[in-house]
Structure 1
Amino acid sequence: MVRIYVDEREKSSGVPEILRGLGVTVIYRRLDVGDYIVSDRTAIERKTADDFIKSLIDGRLFDQCRRLSDVYEKPVLLIEGSLRRALSNSSIRRNAVIGALTTLIVDLDVHVLFTYNAKESAFAIKSIAEKEQRSGRSYVVLHKKPKLSSLREWQLYILQSLPYVGPKVAQRLLETFGSVYRVFTATVPELAKIEGLGEKKAGEVVRIIRAPYTPEKERRSQARSIIDYLLKNEENTSSSQ
């Protein structure tokens, strides 16, 4: 039986009910990240084409996808509906949208999927869930703060909040380094030796641990600057043609 955790704010979309009609067990929760959690490593953010354009303009898109990418190894952005129609009702240009999608795919490692309507979205979500859960990744991690009673449980939980670090990798890290502190001070080459990480993933873990904190207002400003850059680049391209 396929089981999917669904953000309760998705009820009005009609997708969860279609999933139920397809035999999927739908469990509603107030999710902090993503709209559909299908496995410990894969979460899906669903947006209508109109909402995609709006979130691109106001900066929410990059913020949401960055958080999705930080928490889940296989983040998916599902865009439902006609982008062509959504663009016709917006001031943003096609090249800016292409630039934004490129940024999501190349820089944030977000998989982008397009569907025509809610029914197609439900079929796509179910297909992803089936593939993930048949491959042995049937348990779903909501990444919410649990009730922990022992020091060991807290240590494992803290490490599992990092990207690419599930229960097994967290245990290997503690067995290798001996403490959470030692893991946090490890170098990329040291972390890369851990089975399940490798150099690229280790580099991302170290980047997150050592990066200075950016307040929410500043993050939105940075996202907004990306939009401005894409729009300006599009204008320059158009004027040169």
Structure 2
Amino acid sequence: MNNTLIEIVYDDREHAETLLEQLSLRTDLCLVRKRLKLGDYQINNWLIERKTLPDLVISLCDGRLFSQVARLSACDHNTALLIEGSSRDIASYDITREALIGALCSISIKFNMPILRSLSQAESAKILYFVAKQLHSRETELKLNGRKPKRKKNRQLFILQSLPQVGPKLAKRLLSHFDNIEAIFTAPAAELRKVEGIGQEKAQKIRDVLTS
């Protein structure tokens, strides 16, 4: 295989025929079909979750959206959310524009996850191509300049600081005590109270946010 080709891995369960066909026409790309544990596309150290606008609304309404986003944010890769479709696609859905905007703000601010928008599979293909080209150029620059990408621990600490009354110092103590984000998110209140700076009231507030 030509070493100059930019690799895009896509999940073997992804149903986006037009998108994949458009990407396959790019002579500087190499598409790899693979089972991904998280995300729908992997480009270098980035995972990209693709959701149609109806899928996004359904997962928001049934409570799955933020748990999915939390798992993505806690993984070792950088992550982004690609939302595909227009407002016409959800005209018949029982959801307000304010609720949708609030969810997108939470994803981008609380979870530090970039949100990419497209109107169709063809446009999504263009976005993935542009992302692949830019990441390829950045990786080449990083290698030349000897710089390292942001560490995983910093991303984990950022996520923890979105919890009630959790600042930078407490986030570090939580991560030191539990070792990983998943253990913190699933810990009962009694276990949270073992961390210095977390009393009964604060532990309950954290549990309420994670389970509500």
- Separation (CA, whole Å) in 1 of partners of 2:58 and 2:114: 20
- Separation (CA, whole Å) in 2 of partners of 1:204 and 1:14: 47
Contact 1:105 1:111 in 2 (8 A): yes
- Is 2:151 the partner of 1:164? yes
Contact 1:6 1:28 in 2 (8 A): yes
Relative to structure 1, the CA distance from residue 212 to residue 71 in structure 2 (aligned partners, 3 Å threshold; closer, same or farther) is closer
Counterpart position of 1:74: 78
- Is 2:175 the partner of 1:206? yes
Contact 1:2 1:129 in 2 (8 A): yes
Q: Tell me which amino acid in the other structure corresponds to 2:151.
A: Y
Deviations 1:200-226 (A, max 9, x none): 9x84992762654528xxxxx96783x
- Is 2:48 the partner of 1:44? yes
Contact 1:87 1:94 in 2 (8 A): no
- Is 2:34 the partner of 1:29? yes
Relative to structure 1, the CA distance from residue 99 to residue 32 in structure 2 (aligned partners, 3 Å threshold; closer, same or farther) is same
Counterpart position of 1:124: 127
Contact 1:55 1:61 in 2 (8 A): yes
Provide TM-score, normalisation by structure 1: 0.58
- Separation (CA, whole Å) in 2 of partners of 1:205 and 1:38: 31
Q: How many residues align?
A: 162
| Structure having greater relative contact order (Cα 8 Å, sep ≥ 6) | 1
Contact 1:15 1:118 in 2 (8 A): yes
Relative to structure 1, the CA distance from residue 122 to residue 47 in structure 2 (aligned partners, 3 Å threshold; closer, same or farther) is same
Relative to structure 1, the CA distance from residue 12 to residue 128 in structure 2 (aligned partners, 3 Å threshold; closer, same or farther) is closer
Gaps of 5+ in 2: 142-149, 158-167, 188-207
Contact 1:62 1:223 in 2 (8 A): no
Question: Is the helix fraction higher in 1 or 2?
Answer: 1
What percent of counterpart residues are identical? 32
Deviations 1:66-97 (A, max 9, x none): 11111155311111110x22331111111110
- Separation (CA, whole Å) in 1 of partners of 2:90 and 2:56: 10
Counterpart position of 1:145: none
Provide TM-score, normalisation by structure 2: 0.66
Gaps of 5+ in 1: 139-162, 167-187, 189-198, 216-220, 226-241
Relative to structure 1, the CA distance from residue 72 to residue 89 in structure 2 (aligned partners, 3 Å threshold; closer, same or farther) is farther
- Select between 9-18 and 45-54 the one with higher mean Cα deviation: 9-18
Which runs of 4 or more aligned residues in structure 1 lie more than 6 Å from their structure 2 counterparts after TM superposition? 221-224
Q: CA RMSD in A?
A: 3.1
Q: 1:3 aligns with which of 1, 7, 32?
A: 7
Counterpart position of 2:165: none
